[in-house]
Amino acid sequence: MQLRRYAWISLIVAVGVIFLKVSAYLLTNSISLLSDALESIVNVLGATAAMWALAVAEQPPDDEHAYGHDKAEFFSSGFEGALIMVAAFGISGSAIWRLINPSDVDVDAIGIGLAVLTSVINFALARWLFQAAKKHESIALEADAHHLMSDVITSIVVVAGVILVGITQWHWLDPIMAFVVGLNIIRMGWQLIRRSLDGLLDPAFTTDEIAQVHGILDKFASNDISFHAIRTRKSGIRRFVSLHVLVPGDWSVQRGHELSEEIESALHTVVANLHVITHLEPKEDPASFIDIPLHRGKSVR
Co-location of 132 and 153 in the same domain: yes
| Window from 97-111, 180-194, 221-235 with minimum mean pLDDT | 97-111
301 within a domain of the structure (yes/no): no
DSSP 249-289: TTS-HHHHHHHHHHHHHHHHTTSTTEEEEEEEEETT-GGGG
CA distance linking residue 163 with residue 169, whole number of Å: 10
Residue 49, SS3?
helix
Co-location of 159 and 276 in the same domain: no
Of residues 219 and 107, more confidently modeled:
219
Q: Considering its fold, how many domains does the chain have in total?
A: 2
DSSP 1-23: -HHHHHHHHHHHHHHHHHHHHHH
182 within a domain of the structure (yes/no): yes
Q: Tell me: the pLDDT tens digits for 67-124?
A: 777 777 787 778 777 877 877 777 777 778 777 877 666 666 777 788 888 889 989 9
Predicted local confidence at residue 299, as pLDDT: 47
Rounded to an integer, the average pLDDT of 172-187 is 78
Co-location of 154 and 242 in the same domain: no
Tell me which range, 199-208, 216-225, 226-235, 287-296, is most confidently predicted by mean pLDDT. Answer: 216-225
| C-beta atoms surrounding 227 within 10 Å | 17
CATH number of domain containing 269 = 3.30.70.1350
Co-location of 265 and 249 in the same domain: yes
Burial class (CB in 10 A: 0-12, 13-18, 19+), 226: middle
Predicted local confidence at residue 265, as pLDDT: 94
- pLDDT higher than 70, residue 300: no
pLDDT band at 296 (very low <50, low <70, confident <90, very high): very low
Predicted local confidence at residue 219, as pLDDT: 94
CATH number of domain containing 194 = 1.20.1510.10
Co-location of 123 and 239 in the same domain: no
Mean residue pLDDT across the chain: 81
Predicted local confidence at residue 2, as pLDDT: 67
**Cα dihedral 153, 155, 158, 162 sign:** negative
**What residue numbers bound the domain in which 162 lies?**
2-200
Co-location of 165 and 66 in the same domain: yes
Q: Tell me: the pLDDT tens digits for 135-176?
A: 777 777 777 787 777 778 777 777 777 787 778 777 777 778
- pLDDT higher than 60, residue 294: no
Co-location of 179 and 272 in the same domain: no
Q: Which residues, at least 6 apart from 33, have a Cβ–Cβ distance to it below 8 Å?
A: 21, 24, 25, 111, 115, 158, 162
Where among 146, 173, 200 does a domain terminate? 200
Of residues 16 and 218, more confidently modeled:
218
Residue 74, SS3?
helix
Rounded to an integer, the average pLDDT of 126-134 is 86
Where among 161, 176, 200 does a domain terminate? 200
pLDDT band at 32 (very low <50, low <70, confident <90, very high): low
Co-location of 211 and 233 in the same domain: yes
| C-beta atoms surrounding 74 within 10 Å | 23
Q: Tell me: the pLDDT tens digits for 37-56?
A: 776 777 777 777 777 777 78
Co-location of 48 and 193 in the same domain: yes
Co-location of 192 and 221 in the same domain: no
116 within a domain of the structure (yes/no): yes
Of residues 227 and 158, more confidently modeled:
227
Predicted local confidence at residue 261, as pLDDT: 95
CB 125 within 8 A of CB 141: no
Model confidence, pTM: 0.62
Rounded to an integer, the average pLDDT of 223-228 is 91
71 within a domain of the structure (yes/no): yes
Q: What percent of the chain has pLDDT over 90?
A: 19
Rg for the chain, CA atoms, rounded: 26
Co-location of 81 and 169 in the same domain: yes
CB 241 within 8 A of CB 280: no
Co-location of 190 and 219 in the same domain: no
CB 267 within 8 A of CB 276: yes
Predicted local confidence at residue 213, as pLDDT: 94
294 within a domain of the structure (yes/no): no
173 within a domain of the structure (yes/no): yes
CA distance linking residue 287 with residue 165, whole number of Å: 75
